A = this chain, B = another copy of it.
Amino acid sequence: MEDAEVFFGKDAYARHTGIELLEIGPGTARVRMEIREMHENSHGTVHGGAIYTLADAAFALASNSHGIPAAAINASISYMKSARGGSLYAEAREFALNPKLATYTVEVTNGDGEKIAIFQGMVYRKSPRR
């Protein structure tokens, strides 16, 4: 797999959603999304899909950080608090890494450090293409 910035640069939907890569390491990643009007849902708070996409971006970066393509097969998210304005941050950490499957936890917080959502995801790891 190519470099994380190149990998993330090819993620059209993350870019369309306004997500920025802050940090990346083996099995970890941190991303940010500055809240804009386009992120709102019908209730005027940040859309659950935008929060999920932010968490998913951190998850994709962390799970693809080992040089083996990893495809999400499952994720669950719990929303703890509505978000409005400012920025949201998502930080992924690896829970367990097996040859074929790996699991990640992602915490989403706002600029005040309040917990917005927690995300748990699993990937299926593919042998490298040659």
Contacts and interface: CB of A to CB of B under 8 A. Distances in A.
A43 interface: yes
In the assembly, how many copies of this chain are there? 4
Nearest to A47: B13
Contacts of A24: none
Contacts of A115: 95-96
A112 interface: no
B120 A118 contact: yes
A73 B98 CA distance: 12
Interface residues of A, number: 53
A10 interface: yes
A91 interface: no
A79 B60 CA distance: 14
Given A47-B14, A53-B47, A56-B52, A76 B42 contact: no
